Amino acid sequence: MKFLFEKDTWQEIYGSIRKNKTRTAITIFGAFWGILLLVGLLGAAKGIENSFNSMFGDFATNSVFISGSRTSMPFKGFQEGRQIKLTTRDVDLIRSEIKGIQFVVPRNATGGQVTNGFKTGNFTVFGDFPLLDKVQKKKLTDGRFLNQKDINENRKVCVISDGIYKELFDKDEEAVGTYLKVSNISYQVVGVYKSGRFEGKNNLHIPFSTFKLVYNQGDKFQWMVVTGKQEFDIVQVEADVKLLLKNIHNIHPEDNRAFRGFNLGKEISKVTGFLTGMQFLTWFVGIATLIAGVFAIGNILLITVKERTKEIGIRRALGATPGIVRQQIILESLFLTLLAGSLGIIAGGLILMLIDSQDWLTNPTVNIPIILIAYSVLVFLGTLIGFIPAYMATIVKPIDALREE
């Protein structure tokens, strides 16, 4: 250990590096690039995952969105092109007939002019059930979400997103308890929530029953969110629901255009698989690049040892033991590895900070333990590879080394 703290040891390492600056740069580039690639790709994968979660994270992952469209095939006397309207009866039958159903949430939406005093804006007005808060959890900042009493009594109440709050209210103004005019009908604000990116920032929610009366929807609605239990395949649940709806509405079994659908569970599975594959590829490429970089360090040190054969012979003749020579070469290998790893981590961190500042991805980060593991692997390999040139330096006899030209 005393060898590590001797001034001459580090002066010799510094002299060797300074003497061959270009070679030193080439030596450390491979390991530097390997850990930079590892940090950068892992951070990017995490950023993609965070971006996806920020967009869909509020929704129950095992969900599918289904809406009525137009038929593309004639069936049982009905012509093609018939518009299909979903009804509350469909919801009841889905709940009772389809296995694996956890929630079925019918929804309506329309555009509406919303006014608060002299401030006005055009926003999306949703007609919803309280059950929506279980399927798409609302991050309330004030008040509450819709409840069953609002539905039963057809109350004129609303829950607004923070986007509407910022446009129609002054900063720090109390919104809950005030009244907004939606298409000239007054609604009392009962809650404010932080909006996500999936449905936008300017949404207003009123009771489904109130929406039905105000906009004369009857028992019809525009689309529904069907959430399956976690142990059931949401793709199969979607297929079962659509088949049941085809039977209810007299649609040809092979007509695939009568209902539109977006299977969130299926898309999340795709993204999850992609992220898993990307992380595996990142580790594989990163570790392979690290190993290649470390071997490059070993090869360059072998060349350095060859060039310093005479110098090593002089040191041996002056009393330097094989152990001292070996330690010197191994320490030089370790130092170059540590330098390459440190620069790679710093550069990778700066790149991730740049990506984050530009909002290309959401919070692209790498866990500290992962960085420490990668760094430890690099140091271990760098030390290990140093034994090869160190051994080559010690097997040369001093008298032969002094004859080297």
What's the rounded Cα separation, in Å, for the pair 104 and 162?
A: 26
Other residues' Cβ atoms within 10 Å of the Cβ of residue 149: 11
- Number of neighbours of residue 397 by Cβ within 10 angstroms: 10
Q: Is residue 232 part of a domain?
A: no
Asked if the structure places residue 158 within a domain, the reply is yes
In a domain, 399, yes or no: yes
pLDDT tens digit sequence for 19-73: 667 767 777 777 788 788 888 888 888 888 787 777 666 677 789 999 999 999 9
Instruction: Report yes or no on 382 lying in a domain.
Output: yes
- 363 in Cβ contact with 310 (< 8 Å): no
Phi and psi at 81, nearest 5°, equal: 90, 5
299 in a domain, yes or no? Answer: yes
The number of folded domains in the chain is 2
SS3 156: coil
What amino acid occupies position 156? Answer: K
Q: Is residue 75 part of a domain?
A: no
Q: Which domain holds residue 376?
A: 2-55+270-403
Q: How far apart (Å, rounded) are the C-alpha atoms in residues 68 and 224? A: 10
User: 77: helix, coil or strand?
Assistant: coil
* Nearest CA-CA partner of 125 in 170, 68, 52, 184: 184
- Mean pLDDT in consecutive groups of 10 residues from the start of the chain, 405 residues: 52 62 72 82 83 70 91 90 93 93 94 93 95 90 95 96 94 93 94 82 94 92 93 91 94 92 84 81 79 73 63 59 67 77 88 83 83 82 70 60 51
Instruction: Specify whether 43 is located in the same domain as 118.
Output: no
d(CA 356, CA 361): 6
Query: What is this structure's pTM?
Result: 0.70
Q: What is the DSSP track for 74-116? A: -BTTBPTTPBP-EEHHHHHHHHHHSTTEEEEEEEEEEEEEEEE
